[in-house]
Amino acid sequence: MSKLKIVITGGNGQLGRELTEWQSTTADIIGFGRHELDITSLPACRNLFTLHRPDVVIHCAAYTAVDKAETERDEAFRVNAAGTRNVAVAAREAGAKLCYISTDYVFDGTGTAPYNEFDQTNPQTVYGMSKLAGEQAVQTLHDRFYIVRTSWVFGKYGNNFVKTMLKIAGEREQLKVVADQIGSPTYTYDLAAFLLELVHTDFYGIYHASNSGICSWFDFAKVIFEKSGADITAEPCTTADFPRPAPRPAYSAMDHSAIRSNGLKLLRPWREALNHFLKQNDHIIKPSLPE
C-alpha cells in the first residue's frame, strides 16, 4: 500500500478523533475540528484542502443531535447537506477521494431483515433526511467516493450508549432498557480500521459497516453489565414507554454485502468488540472488570 495523506473533518468527534489519533504505517492522518474547519463555508473547505493537498478526505463532521434536529431543521440541513456539498466540491477540486460517514437513519426501520446497500431509503427523521441529502450531494458532486453507513456507534471518545450504561450502573440498582429496537453496534476502533483499509482501494460506492451480529438495546445493555461485572438489574421496556421527539428505527440492522463482494474484511462480532473496548478502557469502568 502506498502512504496516503488523509484529512479528517469532525476530528474531535467520536469517530473523527479515533481516526485522527490512529497510528498508521500506511497513512499520514490529520484531523480538523469545527473550530479549525467550518464545513458550512465553501471557501474554508477549499482553503484547507488546497493547503494540505490530501489524497483522501474522510468526512465525519455532522449535526448529530437527532431529537434537536426535529426543531432545528435548517441547522441540520445546513451542516449535513450544504456542509457535505462544500466538502465534496472542495475535495474533488483538490483531487482527493471522499469518504462520507452516513447512518442507518436513512432507512425507515420497518424492515425485518438486515438492510443492504441498495435497499430503498426512506428516512423518518430530520436527521435521517439531512444525512441522506448529504449522500446525494456526494454522489452528484464527486466521482471517487465511498459512502459508509454505520449504526449504534460506541468507542473511547465522546458520549455513547456503552459509557452511559456504565455510568448508570455506578449510580443505580435497576434500569429499564428498550427491547423492541433492533440494530448492529459499531465500535469506532473497528470502524476506523475498516475505513483506512477501504480508502486505500478504488472500490468506490456505498457500504454498510457495523460489527457483525444484531441485538436489541436491551440485549446490548445486558451484555455490557455482564462483561463489566456491574451489579445492576436491567428490565426490558418498549419504545412507547420512552417517547422521543424523533422516532427511532424499530429495525436498523445492516447487511454487509458490499464489504463481502469487494473482498474486504468484515468487522468482528459486536460482543468481541465490546470486550476489547472494556479491556482497553477499564479506567472508565466501575466496578473494575473481573479477572
CA–CA dist 221, 234 (Å, integer): 7
* Contacting residues for 169 by C-beta, under 8 A, at least 6 apart: 175, 225, 228, 230, 231, 232, 286
Count of C-beta atoms within a 10 Å radius of residue 209 = 24
What is the radius of gyration, based on Cα positions, of the chain? 19
Count of C-beta atoms within a 10 Å radius of residue 244 = 11
Catalytic site positions: 127
Q: What is the DSSP letter of 254?
A: B
Write the burial class of residue 143 (CB in 10 Å: 0-12 exposed, 13-18 middle, 19+ buried): exposed
